[in-house]
Structure 1
Amino acid sequence: MAAAAPLPYVELCKGINGLEKVVLREVRGSSAEVYLYGGQVTSWKNEGEELLFISSKANFCPPKPIRGGIPICFPQLGNHGTLEQHGFARNHLWTVDENPPPFPAHTSTKAFVDLILKPSEEDLKNWPHSYEFRLRVALGPGGDLMLTSRIRNTSTDGKPFQFTFAYHTYFSISDISEVRVEGLETLDYLDNLREKQRFTEQGDAIIFESEVDKIYLGAPPKLAIIDHEKKRTFVLRKDDGLPDAIVWNPWDKKAKVIPDLGDEDYKHMICVGAAAVGKSITLKPGEEWRGRQELSAVPSSYCSGQLDPRKVLEGLL
């Protein structure tokens, strides 16, 4: 019998509408897909189960961004000035970076891809700053998904530039009423539904009963998104480059007016992402910023009708 072909840890192939994508695979069965359009992770699976949400009406047609997965918001989160909402990184074509600078990475990680984005002439008209944005997407042997961004000011005019940033991560969930987010208790947040006024979180955990669009300031390095029905906890880890966290769900009325989101999609998604939004990042020429987000999914179990806190803590360690 012929030997089995070696596992292709990294494969460049065609995706929806002929758009190029990179498929990452690990020997234990986990996988991820990254579209060069947007530098966007659109799939993350463990044991065949999809862990990220993609809208039932998602466009895979440039120049529209892809609704779902992990859009990269750069050089802004939100809608300010002449730039499109959430910046241009998510609707530009990235290229595979053949000669990236050294990235700190797990030596056991073989399933990874390095992408790079540089400004086009059109970009420079709307945002006149020279930069190199390098992104590494890696799939760990245990199925963890890691995104590391490096942004460098490459200008020669001696001028600094400022930006904000977010990994706008869409998690796939059973039902929004069955989910809570832990780790953001007592924090101050900016409420985008109230003209970015600042409030303090009062609940023991974040639960969802209506539209939510918040930026939590000074969030801890680990957050938990707990899905009671699926008995699963997503653990989000982030580094010092991403001090904040975003939480978003459009709820029913907003979902109906978002053209690339199904009317009922809001029930099966929650956006929680590492971000640097509360204070703009300033880069002088030659300086580089780095921001890393790592995702894992761990089982949760019930104890007397409640989620067993010991299991959640084990996932956070």
Structure 2
Amino acid sequence: MSGAASVERVKDRATGLDKFVLREARGSSVEVYLYGGQVTFWKNNFGQQLLFVSNKATFKPRKAVRGGIQICFPQLGNHGVLEQHGFARNRFWSVDESPPPFPVATSNCHIDLILKSSPEDLKIWPHSYEFRLRVALTPRGDLILTSRIKNISSDSKPFQFTFAYHTYFSVSDISEVRVEGLETLDYLDNLQSRKRFTEQGDAVVFESEVDKVYLSAPPKVVVIDHEKKRTFVLRKEGLPDVVVWNPWDKKDEEYKSMLCVGAAAIEKPVTLKPGEEWIGKQEISAVPSSYSSGQLDPELIRRMHTI
């Protein structure tokens, strides 16, 4: 590994769970738990936490950690006999000792994890799979998650799944945040029985509870936090949709400081025949600058040209 970048496996003193800490030379860092394959902390060069993790989050097996980036597979939502948002976020992952070659080497600072079918899970979702997850931190501090799911069934049956990176961003105040890149798109509104609507605003803003799946979204979406003067630039590959969620629970003031925006494949489930593999990637940059109506400031232009 070049420079001062490092990947360290540690046992969290507070939770007793194993996690990996990725650090880049310029000071950015990421923490990834084997439980859930979940990124919980992503800090920039100044040590500022960019992801939201609830103060009430419990790091106890069989219950997902509220916050960070949850891996939702083989479903998003609550359908049938499967757990809410699938079981991947509630299982212990292993280190992938022999990951396959990746199309592009994005960073030397990464960890490869793997989740396989268990006898317990086969009873509720009878499909044999291998789910490989690479979490990478670039020298510029960008966070990249790449998922590779393969059907390893010995029979001739395909399987279907839906998927999402349920990404909790830390924001200053939800009323000061807007999401650009989703305007004019159709979306499914989970608060209205998944009815289909078309986004009418020039950006997505928040004045009440939101739980939507935007369909056939562009490869880049931005989350603009006016108060923090910070823009999250989310890029995606292999994931056509984008999930946007804020619970707006006035009994819990934490809703003001979080917003979920994540790449997903929801409207059209992914189908894999035996031997086939699917790849879905989400890359996030946190830029201390503004972005509006397609106009990029010089710093963001420089960052995007070097990615």
- TM-score, reference length from structure 2: 0.94
Deviations, residues 67-105 of structure 1 (Å, cap 9, x unaligned)? 000000000000000001100000000000011111133
Distance in 1, Cα, partners of 2:104 & 2:97: 17
User: Could you tell me how far 1:252 is from its partner in structure 2?
Assistant: 2.1
Of residues 284, 288, 291 in structure 1, which corresponds to 2:277? 288
Tell me how large the CA RMSD over aligned residues is: 1.7
| Structure 1 contact 132–153 (Cα < 8 Å) conserved | yes
1:310 maps onto 2:296 in alignment = yes
Distance in 1, Cα, partners of 2:143 & 2:104: 12
SS of the counterpart of 2:175?
A: helix
Q: Which residue of 2 aligns with 1:17?
A: 15
**Structure 1 residues 220-231: aligned runs within 5 Å:** 220-231=218-229
Q: Which residue of 2 aligns with 1:193?
A: 191
SS of the counterpart of 2:110?
A: strand
Distance in 1, Cα, partners of 2:296 & 2:222: 13
Structure 1's unaligned 5+ residue stretches are: 1-5, 257-262
Of residues 228, 239, 243 in structure 1, which corresponds to 2:240? 243
Q: Which residue of 2 aligns with 1:177?
A: 175
Q: Which residue of 2 aligns with 1:273?
A: 262
| Structure 2 contact 290–296 (Cα < 8 Å) conserved | no
Q: Which amino acid aligns with 2:296?
A: R
Distance in 1, Cα, partners of 2:296 & 2:76: 35
Distance in 2, Cα, partners of 1:247 & 1:301: 21
Structure 2's unaligned 5+ residue stretches are: none
- TM-score, reference length from structure 1: 0.91
**Structure 1 residues 44-55: aligned runs within 5 Å:** 44-47=42-45, 48-55=47-54
| Structure 1 contact 10–113 (Cα < 8 Å) conserved | yes
CA, structure 1 residues 250+316, in 2 after alignment: closer, same or farther (shift >3 Å)?
A: farther
Deviations, residues 107-158 of structure 1 (Å, cap 9, x unaligned)? 6x22100000001111000000000000000000100000000000000011
Q: Which amino acid aligns with 1:130?
A: S
Overall identity of the aligned pairs, in %? 72
Distance in 2, Cα, partners of 1:308 & 1:78: 32
| Structure 1 contact 213–246 (Cα < 8 Å) conserved | yes
Q: Which amino acid aligns with 2:85?
A: H
SS of the counterpart of 1:164?
A: strand
User: Could you tell me how far 1:180 is from its partner in structure 2?
Assistant: 0.2
Q: Which residue of 2 aligns with 1:56?
A: 55
Q: Which amino acid aligns with 1:105?
A: V
SS of the counterpart of 1:180?
A: strand
